[in-house]
Structure 1
Amino acid sequence: MKKISYILVLLLSVGAFAQSNETMTTDTIVSPILAKKNEVKVDVLNGIAFGKLGISFERFLNKDFSVGITGMMFNKKSKTDDFLTDDTRTLIDYQVIPYVRYALSKSASSLYYLEGFVNINGGEYKELTTLNNGAADYVVITKKDYNDVALGGSVGYKLYFKESFVLDLTVGIGKNLFKENSPSTVARLGINLGYRF
């Protein structure tokens, strides 16, 4: 009976060692995507729909976390001509958006993520002043500049093709913190195409 017990313990030990060894080897296989630590992207949605030039750089710290920055410049000429007469109260000229992302999915080629961001934005706002010339009231519209900082959050999805090309979808919102005349909220929307290297 002792011999059977020893043989059983020996077989169980070998089986347990084989399983742990197998787990270690599969966990150490690194995806070629994860080996690439940098990514550059161009925002196609904002470029086509709103005439905004958006470029992003993202640095991957590990398989879960990354940091990045997005810069957005707006085509002022298309909006400035109508700004004083349309219903828009503010006109954003630029946005600089540093961000931190956390991957919710464990797959390297297709993943969802959460993002926290700071949006440094500036532009123009309309100020309406009512004056009286003695006979009637009239309104004078003047343009003034603003600069503000917003904090916000986003969710997104990334899909990689051929281990280097990426489609990145982002949806989020932030709240401006300091200026009364800046937009109260700023949207974070994007369909980005990029390259990971």
Structure 2
Amino acid sequence: MKKIVLTLVTLVSVSALAQTNFPESMNSAYEKKHEIRLGAVKLLSGHSLELSYERVKDRNQGYGVNFLVGFQSGEDVLNQNISIAPYYRFYFNQSQEYGAKGMFVEGFADLYSGTEYVYGNSYAVDPYGYYYYDQNKENFTDLALGLAIGWKKVNTIGFVFELKAGYGKNLIQQNTNASGVFKGDISIGYRFN
């Protein structure tokens, strides 16, 4: 009698768990194709605001755009005022779950503008003997092509955590202070339908 009751209780509990519908199931996470992220480190440092949008094409690839607006100016900081960078990603995902997560390689084109400080050839001497060179602000626009590598974690509900670092080489060379741009941040975001 005990064996029959134990078997019935086990079957009822297993069938009850099998019928539970979880809204954050693997199928719903797989169906989410749009993603928006915020560059947390850049925002917390007060340097700039970086927003990213990605469209998941399939479990191994995605494409999107990064948009950056700079806050600080001065000769001691990178003076990117605005940046638009479309990208394409290839994911190295080995699991058979929903895709566009894990390690990735990204190719990007970054069109950006900013301000640089250029020192002139003339100078002035103050009463204490210190030299001060003439300094001019010049605006520039440049285009950089580059690669980045990163890692992304997506949970079943759709929250996203991403680490990324990369470098792009300037093609136009209007920015004389730098030969390229660094692309990287720790980003948080959400994947949705």
Structure 1 segment 31-46 matched on structure 2, within 5 A: 31-46=27-42
Instruction: Determine the structure 2 residue equivalent to 1:26.
Output: none
Percent identity (aligned): 26
TM-score normalised over the length of structure 2:
0.74
Unpaired segments ≥5 residues, structure 1? 1-29
CA contact (8 A) 1:146 1:179 kept: no
- Distance, in Å, in 2 between the alignment partners of 1:177 and 1:93 is 18
1:130–1:138 contact (8 Å) kept in structure 2: no
Larger radius of gyration: 1
Q: Which residue of 2 aligns with 1:48?
A: 44
Deviation at 1:138, TM superposition (A): 6.4
CA contact (8 A) 1:40 1:56 kept: yes
Task: Name 1:106's counterpart in structure 2.
Answer: 94
Which of 158, 165, 188 pairs up with 1:171? 165
User: Please, what is the CA RMSD of the aligned residues?
Assistant: 2.2
Q: Call closer, same or farther: CA 1:50–1:176 in 2, change over 3 Å.
A: farther
Residue 127 in structure 1 maps to residue 127 in structure 2: no
Number of equivalenced pairs: 157
Whole-angstrom CA distance in 1 between matches of 2:44 and 2:181: 19
Whether contact under 8 Å (1:121, 1:147) holds in the other structure is yes
Task: Give secondary structure in 2 for the equivalent of 1:105.
Answer: coil
Which runs of 4 or more aligned residues in structure 1 lie more than 6 Å from their structure 2 counterparts after TM superposition? none
Q: Following the alignment from structure 1 to structure 2, what is the Cα–Cα distance between the partners of residues 102 and 138?
A: 50
Greater fraction of residues in helix: 1
Structure 2 Cα separation of the partners of residues 148 and 99 of structure 1: 17
Tell me, in whole angstroms, the C-alpha distance in 1 between the residues paired with 2:163 and 2:132.
46
CA drift of 1:32 comes to 3.1
Q: How far apart are residue 41 of structure 1 and its match?
A: 0.7
When residues 43 and 129 of structure 1 are mapped into structure 2, their CA distance, relative to the original with a 3 A threshold, is same
Deviation at 1:180, TM superposition (A): 4.2
